[in-house]
Amino acid sequence: MAIAFDLYRNLDDESCQARILAAKSALGKQAVILGHHYQRSDVYRHADLTGDSLKLSRLAAKSEAEYIVFCGVHFMAEVADILTGPEQVAILPDLSAGCSMADMANLSKVERAWRELSAILDPDETITPVTYINSAADLKAFCGEHGGIVCTSSNAGKILEWSFSKREKVLFFPDQHLGRWSGHKMGIPLEEMLVWDYDQPMGGHSEEAIKRAKILLWKGHCSVHQMFQPQHIENFRKNYPEGRVISHPECSFDVCRLSDEVGSTETIIKTIENSPAGTHWLVGTELNLVNRLAEEFKPQGKTVRFMSPTVCMCSTMARIDPQHLAWTLENLLEGHVVNRITVPESEAELAKLALSRMLEVS
């Protein structure tokens, strides 16, 4: 029988850290711990591999580890299960570690939108469904089934180019901001990118407006990246006129437009890493990553500031704490798998098709 989590709930962090280190040592190459860039520092420190969600899943697939312990959120562990071998087991230390953005586009709502669009055009002939990797496996499978594709924040532009080469329109979910910024970079006018409000019939638009649109943007967003506002950039420029601003494309259009650079987490890291010593940076992305960059580049005289005056982090990912990680690893030592993430085979096959299209394109 698996060890109950209640035995770990009140353990102090220091005890957990020691037990995690001991369990890691005992498990050896049997297990690999993946740590997303946004993960809290007391968990991130134990990661064997770090990166964004897709990078981590691809690295896990190349590893020989039997157990893939993903310190991220639910959709990330699903991708790991899809891309890794049948003999590998994907684990999420806390099942409550989800993604509010991913939850904004569930399969039933997307299927309803597809049916509504079918009333005025043939979506399978005219619309390429594109889902951001920050989405559930069943939505990736939906894209696989309907000739669609998956994108990341770093390849969204290339994916849109591919999508328009197949069909004349795109339904982009769940993050409207990544879709809008990527479309803008392609030269698509804002008026040809409509927000699809899934709580309104026909997304809140007339038939004529839908027929004119190039991109239908799902009404979804990242709660963390919505904290950043244009005035935060304006205030920074007053104090540091020579400073540089870099933002994640999940930020609002106005924030992206005012930034010097816009890019994925990996792009943000590499851009700051390659910048001259003494550079001042304002960064519009998750707090744990920004704090880590600030410490890493302090010896080079670089200052890295968090864009918002309000503390905001990925609170759902932060649910994975040292207590849950210790519980997960010590159960593995006892031969028990807790919180395994398994995508049904039929769903995984279609989702992998959409992911494979993305990997081929990018």
Overall average pLDDT of the 100-112 stretch: 94
CB within 8 Å of 109: residues ≥ 6 apart: 198
Q: What is the pLDDT of residues 314-350, one digit of tens each?
A: 777 789 999 999 999 999 999 999 999 999 999 999 9
Q: What is the pLDDT of residues 153-167, one digit of tens each?
A: 999 999 999 999 999
Percentage of residues of the chain with pLDDT beyond 90: 90
Task: Say which CATH topology domain 5-98+316-343 has.
Answer: Rossmann fold (3.40.50)
Same topology, domains 5-98+316-343 and 225-306? Answer is yes
CA distance 60 to 272: 26
pLDDT greater at residue 304 or residue 63: 304
* Look-up of token digits 């159960």: 331
- In the chain, where the domains are located: 5-98+316-343, 102-223, 225-306
- Residue-averaged pLDDT of the chain: 95
The confidence score (pLDDT) of residue 252 equals: 98
Task: Say which CATH topology domain 225-306 has.
Answer: Rossmann fold (3.40.50)
Percentage of residues of the chain with pLDDT beyond 70: 100
Name the CATH superfamily, with its identifier, for domain 102-223.
NadA-like (3.40.50.10800)
pLDDT greater at residue 315 or residue 132: 132
Residue 132 has pLDDT above 80, yes or no: yes
Q: What is the pLDDT of residues 29-47, one digit of tens each?
A: 999 999 998 899 999 999 9
User: Which ranges in 240-344 belong to alpha helices (H)?
Assistant: 253-258, 265-273, 287-297, 322-333
Confidence of residue 55 (pLDDT cuts 50, 70, 90): confident
- Indicate the pTM of the whole model: 0.94
How far is it between the farthest Cα atoms of the chain?
A: 64
* Look-up of token digits 């035995």: 7
Confidence of residue 191 (pLDDT cuts 50, 70, 90): very high
CA distance 168 to 130: 13
Overall average pLDDT of the 127-154 stretch: 97
CA distance 98 to 84: 20
The confidence score (pLDDT) of residue 141 equals: 98
Do 84 and 60 touch, CB atoms closer than 8 A?
Answer: yes
Residue 308 has pLDDT above 80, yes or no: yes
